[in-house]
Chains A and B, each alone.
Chain A
Amino acid sequence: MSPKALKGINRPNNLSCFTTVFRSEAGCSERTRCISSGLWALWSLVTVRADHLPSSPCTPSTALLSPRLDELRPLYMDFQATTPMDPRVLDAMLPYQVNYYGNPHSRTHAYGWESETAMEKARKQVADLIGADPRETVFTSGATESQQYCVARFYKAKKTHIITTQTEHKCVLDSCRILEAEGFEVTYLPVKNNGLIDLKQLQETIRPDTSLVSIMTVNNEIGVKQPIKEIGHLCRSKNVFFHTDAAQAVGKIPINVNDWKVDLMSISGHKISGPKGVGALYVRRRPRVRIEPLQNGGGQERGLRSGTVPTPLVVGLGAACEIAQQELEYDHKCVTVLANRLVQKIVSEIPDVVKNGDPDQRYPGKIRLSNCLFFLKWESLLMALKDVALSSGSACTSASLEPSYVLRAIGADEDLAHSSIRFGIGRFTTEEDVDYTVEKCIQQVKRLREMSPLWEMVQEGIDLKSIKWTQH
């Protein structure tokens, strides 16, 4: 029987039965004990005897990517890109993946009713985290889809001006570019050196025909926290819709859409230890924000986003939001301590390191250090630090070798922009992780700097900007 066929067989539900099986699996070459289901034992024997496979009964397809058991996995320090799913979230989702598989929009039977109850409960959990009404939340496939609804054609005939910043996430900037091609006028507000926008400049930029202001709450690359409350009040006073991309901020800082006077907000599931592929959109009801549906069909989600709501994913998102609300203070405390530890240790050992972004108005878990390398490119440090999973910019721009546009926007020099890396700390980071990262980072930076001819020149006191590089 093929392993795939065996997978479908009913396995015993008894937890103790499982633990018996696992306790007996001590290595690839050991036999397993027979348990209640004979076929289950046969499957285990087949797996255990295969030396090249890991010692678990189920061989996930990812085993093909890194088959060797003695290869160690790198340390994950890229919490801005995505976060590991919290075990409590997984636990909440599994019943809806296995047993409660009904379509939440089926009105005629219990399967539909129980899924709908779960979906509404998740909606309340998401709404409670941001201080909104459950009727104001719409489930989408992620923050990018939520953004498509927001950065869109509001009152196209009369108001054709949109304001955003230069440090926004790519999905907002790309949507703005498309709107520009359609005839809208978009102003990309510059940011100050600390990454924050100038409120006065925003006030002056708002015109009578401005329909939307879109500013992200916490920047994913430099971690600065914009003064959303002030911006919200300003926009409300000028009768302009205000959208904020809170994907990186939800669950990490306290949010209240009513205090902040936010009209539209995008939430992403996988940034708050939830599942990937789900997000939410907050759409204010009073005063009403009329957005156009992008997906038409059966009229689900108040006609704004038709399509079956994926119950397991939204249950996961709801659970993630509830956990984030409960753990907000604790996580913030832990992350602050670890972030300070990381920065202090690096800055004390390596001279000429600059931390990008405002030191106070920030979320501590997102640290970007520039000039760690002083005229060494970030690729060399990231390749040297192969034991630690780090990045130099947002995941969507990580394929490009160009320095991050966010750093250019905050006025960093070319050299600084080329030599900066981003550390992400989250709920699951430990002190050992930080110490290990710091140790490796210091070691590799010192080693690379010793090899670098530019560093030698700097040590001799030559100003690198004064050098005229000859062309060949």
Chain B
Amino acid sequence: MAASSREHVLSLYRLLLKESKKLPSYNYRTYALRRVQDAFRETVEDPKVVEELLNRARDSLALIQRQVCIGKMFAIQKTVVEQEEKKSD
């Protein structure tokens, strides 16, 4: 039970990161990635809180998917910092 729920949490985490990387807006993308990573790094003991956080994570996943679509519909030029990131990669 513990193993499957751990798998479940990890798969949710990976999905969230994967979707967050698709956000076109620099601000949103960097914020989503950072927030998701920090949220999943917190240690939570209480199973009820864990359940609530997982529900919130699922809602966030759907939200990010919608925002990815909307962002792509209204895409604009990149920010100067993104260009710097690309150069350094």
Binding site for B on A (CB under 8 A): 15, 18-19, 22, 54-58, 60, 62-63, 66, 68-76, 84, 87-88, 90-91, 94, 330, 334, 387-388, 427-428, 430, 432-433, 436
Contact = CB atoms under 8 A, between A and B. Distances in A.
Contacts of A69: 77
A427 B31 contact: yes
Interface of B: 23, 25, 27-28, 30-32, 34-35, 38, 63-67, 69-70, 72-85
Contacts of A436: 80-81, 84
A72 B80 contact: yes
Nearest to A427: B31
B79 A75 contact: yes
Nearest to A330: B38
Contacts of A74: 79-80
B76 A54 contact: yes
A19 B69 contact: yes
Contacts of A88: 63
Given A94-B70, A428-B31, 20 more contacts: A15-B66, A18-B69, A22-B69, A56-B75, A66-B76, A70-B77, A71-B77, A72-B77, A72-B83, A73-B77, A73-B79, A84-B25, A87-B67, A90-B67, A91-B63, A91-B67, A334-B34, A427-B31, A432-B84, A432-B85
Query: At the interface, is chain B mostly helix, strand, loop or mixed?
Result: helix
B79 A430 contact: no
A161 to B, nearest CB: 45
B17 to A, nearest CB: 16
A87 B76 contact: no
Contacts of B38: 330
Contacts of B79: 72-76
Contact of B72 (A22, A60, A70, A72): A22
A142 to B, nearest CB: 22
9 contacts: A15-B66, A58-B74, A66-B77, A73-B80, A75-B80, A87-B32, A87-B67, A427-B31, A428-B27
